[in-house]
Structure 1
């Protein structure tokens, strides 16, 4: 499938934007929500929905600062969804922490914004803090595993590490 208008096809299925601002909101819903697993109704992605593109947006959770963004074509977008939808609800290989609510919140999170026939739908990715790592669709939780992370954690979207990424092999 061809990249969306206004983009040039790059290597590894990354659609390189011709202009700055690739579709990541400056004030993300994930920062305003009750937590990184509390998607507002109607915004989450049903993983059986075909997708035609992906914008990955990495945010600092304390103030919503955009830390990085990357645009991917339809092929990579669908690979990400396909890699997520087969995952169990929890990754038993990751550590379980007991922590106070004020330290449970993640410092960072990634919002995956998928283009669909019904508009933009999101999956929120938590990989930091000390509770609930995984992929959140609004209706389902999928455990945090390396296979989907490797597809979109590239360039500015790739964190240097985190609570759970440090324990996760192969991302």
Structure 2
């Protein structure tokens, strides 16, 4: 096994992927992601989907900064939330009021703040694990792939 090479960065060179809400994850090419907050949703628009009884509705807010020299297609990111206390599957909610979906392109040198809305059974607690996955071909092919997606743990406030 000594002769097997890992094409990715050495383990000591890889950025930390276990993060807390408020921490910033920096990809090696200049893209950065920071989970800003996990908050309870308390207001609803006319067409918003409110959760069933026994569910806690929450919003994850994050900021993406494009520190590269070219625009970045935001559809190359995927994200998900799940319960972190006793596990627990989240349900996506359709919420317009206060929401900013991550779509389009982000220009070089610019930042954008985005949201995603979910609900979690109250019996699964208030701790959330939020994971951001990057799926662009260049990232996967150039040897920079980390092997593990960054994820943030925090409590619904």
The interval holding the TM-score normalised by the smaller chain is: under 0.3
Identify, as 1 or 2, the structure richer in strand.
2
What TM-score, normalized to structure 2? 0.28
Identify, as 1 or 2, the structure richer in helix.
1
Larger Rg: 2
What TM-score, normalized to structure 1? 0.26
